[in-house]
Structure 1
C-alpha cells in the first residue's frame, strides 16, 4: 500500500462515520454503560486523544477499551496483542469486521479510534474529532468525581479556533510533509508546520496551556503530535528543521503534559516507532525501526509551574491506569 501521493500534495480522506453516541440517543445510539467498546491503537495520534480523554474523565468503568497492535496491512488494524489474536470482548481478529458488519460495502478507511456497539458488533463511529468532544459533553453523567472540564462552554470558540489551525498545520501538517509526493508539496507543508510551531511557541511562552489556565481539548490534540515528533516525524516524515527537544518552549510544554497523569502514561514509544517505520513501506522500504531517540528527557524538570495555571481546574488528577491498560514495561520514557 502506498501512502505518499505520487502527484504531489497529500490530502487526508476525512469521510468519517458521523453517527454519534449521545445522551438523548438521537442517532439511535444512547449513552449506556457497558454497551460500547472504544477501539484504539497506542501508536495512532488520533486514537491517543481518545485514550487520554477517556482516562482524564474516568470513563473506564462505562466504556471498555480494546487495543489494536501497532502495525496493520491494507485491510485493517488487528488485535494481535490479545490472546489468540482476537479482541476478548468483540471476538474479532480485525477491526474491519465491525465496519463490514454495519456497512458490508464499506470502502473508506478502517481507522482508529472507533467505537463499536458490543451487542451488535457493529461500528458506530470513527469520527475522531467528535468522539472526544462527545466524551466530554454527552457522557457527563458517568464522569468520575473530579473530572476536568476539557471543553468548557465559555472557552469553546477559542478552543475550536486553536484546534482548526493546529489540525491543519501541525496534526495533519506532519503527514502532509511526510506523504508529499513532490518537493514543492513537501516544502509547502514543512514551512506551514514550522511557522505554526513557532507561533505556538510564542503563545505558550507566556501561558501554561493553549486556552485558559487549565488543560483543555486543545492541549490534548497538540500533545499527541508533539509526543511523536522526535520518535517519528522528525526523521520519518522529514520534519527536520528542529527536533522537539530543540524548541525550548514546546519541549517544556510537552514535558509538563507528559508528566501530568493521563498523558505520558498513555504514550507507547515502541508502538509509535514500529507503526510508522514498518507500516509506511513506500517511505521506509527497509522497515528498519530506529533505536533512538533518547527518551530520558521526558521526565526532567520543565519549570512550567511558574506560569501559574491549574492543570485540572477545580478537579483532580485521574488515578493510575488500570492494570490491563498500562503501557508495557520498556515502551515508555525512562528516568
Structure 2
C-alpha cells in the first residue's frame, strides 16, 4: 500500500512522489557497488511504498547505475515510476562538463538504451558547460522533447541567471540542487527564482551526505573508495566544529520523538509543496526511516529553531570537493558568441 503522497513538480504537468529515491550510492562514489539483487529489491520496495520518483545519472558508475535501473524497471514496473536521469559530466578519472548539441543527443540515446526505455520522464543537465551558451544546450533538449525521447527538462547546479535564460528557450520543470540544514546558500537567489518561474525544486543530499543520519561517526563507517572521506566538511578540523550542529539537531529530534535524519528531512518537506527531497540509501530500513519523515509535523517555532541553529556560520568547510563545478560557476557565454 503506497504511503507517500504525490505532488505536482513544476508547472508543466509532471506529478511525482513527495519523496524520491537517489540511486547514486547503489553503484558509485560511496564505496564499492552494492549487490545488484539487493538493490533491485530495494527499488521495488520503494516503489511499492509509493516512492516512485527515481533519480540516476549516466555518470553514476559511470553508466552502471542506469543499467541497474533498467533491470529493475522491467515490464509492469516502468509504468509506476517517474524516472529522472542526467547528462553533462564525462568521467573517466577526470571530470569534463559537456553541453554541445551533438553530445546532448548522443548522451540521451545512450541513456535510453541503458535504461531500456523509450522515453525519459525528466532529463537534467547535470552540470552546466560554461563554454556553450545555455540556449544552445536547451535548443537540443527542446528537440528531444518534440521527438518524444524526453518528457520534461531539468537543470542541476544552475545559477539564477542560467535558469532564466534556459527557461526562456523551453520551460524548465525542475532544478536539482543541494539543500539541507547544512547547505542553505540556495535560499538567497535560486529558490526565489524557481518560485517566480513556477519551477519545481529537487533537493539532493538532504541528509548532508549521511551526516544527519550518523553524525560525526559517519567517517568511521565509510568504505574504501568513498569520496566523502576527502570532502572538506568531513575533515577532522571541520568535523569537530560541525558536530555541534548535529548534536543540536539530535536534541530537537529527541523532543519531537524522531531521529535526526527524519527531522532534517521533515525540515525540507516543510519548505513547501514545490520541493521534493531525494535521499539516497542502500538499505530498506533506512528507506523506511526516510518515509517516516513525512509523518513528522513541524510548527513554525520548530522551523525557526532549526534555522537559527543551522545558520551559515554553523558549518565549516566547502560543501563539495575542489574541481567539482556548482551553480557558482555555471554562467554561460552569450548566445551571440556561439560558433557552431
How high is the TM-score relative to the length of structure 2? Answer: 0.29
Which structure has greater helix proportion?
A: 2
How high is the TM-score relative to the length of structure 1? Answer: 0.29
Which structure has greater strand proportion?
A: 2
